[in-house]
Structure 1
Amino acid sequence: MSSIKSKELLSLNQRLIRSPLVSCMAGCAILWVSFGIRQSFGVFLIPITEETGWTRSTFSIAAALLQLLWGFSQPFLVYLAEGKVGFGKTIFVGCVFYAVGCFILYASNQSSGLFIFAMGAVIGISAGGNSFPNVLASVGRRFPQNSKQQSMAFGIVSSFGSLGQCCFLPMSRAMLNSIGWRMSFIVFGIMMAAFAPLAYYLQTVPPIPALPDNTKIKDLVKSSDSVTGKNATEKVIEQEITEQEELECRPLEDISAPDIKTALKEAFSSSTFVCITLGFSVCGFHIAFLSTHLPAYLQDNGIDSSLAAWTISIMGLGSMIGTIGTGYLVTFIKPKYVLMGIYGLRTILIVIITFIPLTITTVIVFSVFFGFLWLSTVPPTTKFVGTVFGHRYLGTLTSITFVGHQIGAFLGAYVAGVVYDKTHSYERMWYGSLAVSIFAVIVNFCAGVEPINEKRRRQRAVDVESMK
């Protein structure tokens, strides 16, 4: 009897692990807390520098190293996750060390070096383990590859990172006023450790193959009906489809690169991949600059500190809507056009915040509309990479594009601090943000000008079939 119950529990456990809904919930929760904590660090800039006497450059280098090491560690950690270690273990270890980094920050008030090590190195590398590429790659395996359901799942799960930003900014502000910045990091560490076990439901599972192209199958059935009559429909469906039609309906997983070495070679030799990465780096530049320095910039210009903290929170709420929206848009609009639209709208908003007098109204308008564009680049970028190179090594390839994102983030966080310490103004950073935004529109337009080498990918599928 006990043996039967144990088998039933084991079966239930396996169903939960393979469940798309459960994996989405686990991924949402982990991104909510991990991204929420990271995005709240900008609120601590002024309190920490005033209490310790450190310059803004000191805080900025810690925030910038977090972004840089987060990006550079990610491909290796995703590679491990896609290999022998698995997604679940990688995400779990990343969460645990993330919590350790928060605890070290508590003890760093007397040492700027320890502060930079904790925020930049420990949290930065740990973030590479529990961030978007690992979480989305794990969740995506539980949906038919390249399907609308998968695209929507990417958008919904990504949006909870934005929800974390929305929730943690006012939480951080409240904790600063009540328990101070050091104890706030203790609370963050406890929360991160408490959410770590959810990684169990993000274990590696075999990916679900892509669904056949229903339109092509219907066309095939209609053409057969016109010749042989409707009674032959069932026979047509049951028969083996011709070789050409089989290749057209073949799951994208089958026509991905056969190994990681080939996937990397194809990616790095593709101008499309380079353009995607360059465009994504601009997203990182904007986000790191704003999340680290916008509250301080607003306070410097006479905006109340509470409203200054709420601006990033408002962006997080808007980003949740925007991320889900772009996850839906890429189901029927090419990702490159969605990305061009995002960066084009960012350009307009940066012009507004730079050249129109700063008031509460302009701050709120900027925060609301820029929020819709905050993390909305993640679903179309993920979709773009998957469409061009397949889904077998999607986590590794998107993590490489994320290196570009984090190089941009490093520059956005660090250069802004250096510029402020030298000029006591962020004006030059706004001009720089405007310039790179225009650059992102251009490179995303160029992405896709190079035709996807579909013939080569189809031929690889034929070669694989012939070897069987």
Structure 2
Amino acid sequence: MNSPWLACVAGSIVLWVSFGVRQTIGIFLLPLSNDLNYSRSQFSIAAALLQLLWGVCQPFIVYIGERKIGFGKTIFISCLVYAASSFTMYGSLASNPSVFIFAAALQGISAGGNSFPIVLASLSQRIPGGKYKSIAFGMVSSFGSFGQCCFLPMGRAMISAIGWRWTFLIFGIMMAVCSPMAMFLQTIPPPPSRSTTLSPPSNDKIADEKTMTPYDEEKIIRPKTEAVFETEEKKVPTVNQDDLGFREVLKQAFTSPTYILITLGFSVCGFHVAFLSTHLPAYLVDHDIDSSLAAWVISVIGLGSMFGTMAVGFICTRIKPKYVLSTIYIGRAIILAIFFWVPISLATVFVFSVIFGFLWLSTVPATTKFVGDLFGQKYLGTLTSITFIGHQIGAFCGAYIGGLVYDSMQNYTRLFYSSIALAIFAAVANLLARDNQPKTKQVI
């Protein structure tokens, strides 16, 4: 159960199914609206609530997993709740708009227990070393993108063959089937940490050390402390971030301008992802692109994102995450501007999908490593979940405002301009974020 390899496989499966299912919401907009006479704003509020509650509830769910019942039970229960909401709500009662919106909200709540922060936090307990952590984060996160690549064309084909109601039910069954993978992602107790208390050596120890040979001295495990030189004479050792309590870590995060800038930048990522996954298929259909090809566009974005997250996980072992994130957001701004201003054709659509896909979820491993480098690994799940609130607030705005703007103006022009401006803002925010660890001093 403590195997890092099996944990990576189990985490990949959970993210493949859970993220893939959630990213199919956009392909249901037109068939469901046509069948039930929903407006795009009605559908958008359901999709937006899923995104918002996913982010708002996730820190509390991850906190329960970290501090109360463990990661494994949290992932297992959330998968079953997600499946149950599909069975009971989407399958037979979705004709009522209020029931449909409630079901989307319930899925958003349960999504907080099987998403990136809790899976990556579980992996962090098993994988030693910053380099291997970063690579594992990128590899496992890429399966969320792979799920998007697989489930979108699968969902489109199922909607055409058996209808949108049965498609929702089958996706719920798949969530239930992957829930046993949680047994390989259970919380494991941390290894006993060596004491760093500075105490005078005993007389026996002094006598023993006087008779030691140089070879014997190499065997002594001495506590490692980092020092901050305030003056030439006075040294004050700093405390390891993983030795701090939960409240101290939260206080550091909430009072850190860097953490706020990271969260603001991540909210822009959520805006882009939700806006495009919810409205890009309809936007392409409005521009005379076949609906089946429009679904494939989001799938190709997911395939590109799979390679992007793996590449960024490796790149972050060599380049600071702040520079990687700034580059990603600048790239998004450029690609969005070109896509919007160049006439739409199949060639431009698929070129956009491949390039933007590389930047789609590549922010996840970089943001996770950035937060872990600053505040340690002990409460990484909770801290990344809090940044994910910002991500999902942005996702709520991208999904819901997109529907409102379309219903009022019959186009998405202002949404594309907003997306470009926000990408530039996120690049600047990450560039201004300081990447040095907060200095917490130990009182002697």
TM over 0.5: yes
Task: Give the equivalent residue in structure 2 for 1:141.
Answer: 125
Mapped pair 1:18 → 2:7: no
In structure 1, what is the Cα distance between the partners aligned to 2:272 and 2:191?
Answer: 35
Q: State the Cα distance separating 1:238 from its structure 2 match.
A: 1.2
Higher helix share: 1
Q: 2:83 aligns with which of 88, 94, 99?
A: 99
In the superposition, relative to structure 1, how do residues 442 and 123 fare at CA in structure 2: closer, same or farther (>3 Å)? same
Structure 1 partner of 2:153: 170
Q: Do residues 239 (structure 1) and 239 (structure 2) align?
A: no
CA contact (8 A) 1:19 1:142 kept: yes
1:31-430 alignment runs, 5 A limit: 31-103=15-87, 104-119=89-104, 121-144=105-128, 146-207=129-190, 232=214, 234-241=215-222, 244=225, 254-256=240-242, 258-430=244-416
Q: CA deviation at 1:236?
A: 4.9
Q: CA deviation at 1:367?
A: 0.3
In the other structure, the counterpart of 2:209 is none
Query: Deviations along 1:357-409, whole A, 9 cap, x unmatched?
Result: 11111101110000001100000100000111111111110000000000000
Looking at structure 2, the residues matched to 209 and 187 of structure 1 have their Cα atoms a distance apart, in angstroms, of 45
Which 4+ residue blocks in structure 1 deviate beyond 6 angstroms? Answer: none
Shift of 1:206: 2.4
SS at match of 2:126: coil
**Structure 1 residue identity aligned to 2:189:** P
Residue-by-residue CA offset, 1:144-187 (whole Å, 9 max, x unaligned): 1x521111111111110000000000100110110000000110
1:10 aligned partner: none
The 8 Å contact of residues 340 and 445 in structure 1, kept in 2 or not, is answered as yes
Q: Give 1:245 shift.
A: 6.8
Between the two proteins, the alignment pairs up a number of residues equal to 416
Cα deviation for residue 84 of structure 1 reads 1.7
**Superposition deviation, residue 254 in structure 1:** 4.1
Letter matched to residue 291 of structure 1: S
* Structure 1: distance between partners of 2:134 and 2:192: 15
Following superposition, the deviation at residue 256 of structure 1 comes to 2.8
CA RMSD, Structure 1 to Structure 2 (Å): 2.0
3-state SS, counterpart of residue 69 of structure 2: coil
| Aligned partner letter, 1:308 | A
Conservation of the 8 A alpha-carbon contact between 1:143 and 1:208: no
Separation in 1 of the partners of 2:348 and 2:308?
Answer: 20
Gaps of 5+ in 1: 1-16, 211-230
Deviates further, 265-274 or 99-108 = 99-108
**Secondary structure in structure 2 of the residue aligned to 1:191:** helix
Which residue in the other structure is 2:232 paired with? none
* Aligned counterparts of 2:345 and 2:333: Cα–Cα separation in 1: 19
- State the alpha-carbon separation in 2 of the partners of residues 435 and 209 from structure 1: 48
Q: Distance in 1 between matches of 2:110 and 2:173?
A: 15
Q: Is this contact kept in 2: 1:257–1:389, CA < 8 A? A: no
Asked whether the 8 Å contact 2:373–2:437 carries over to 1, the reply is no
The one-letter amino acid of 1:117's match is F
Q: Which residue of 1 aligns with 2:210?
A: none
Q: Structure 1 residue 101: deviation in Å?
A: 1.5
Which residue identity is paired with 2:25?
F
What secondary structure does 2:137 align onto? helix
- Residue pair 1:253, 1:390 contacting (<8 A) in 2 also: no
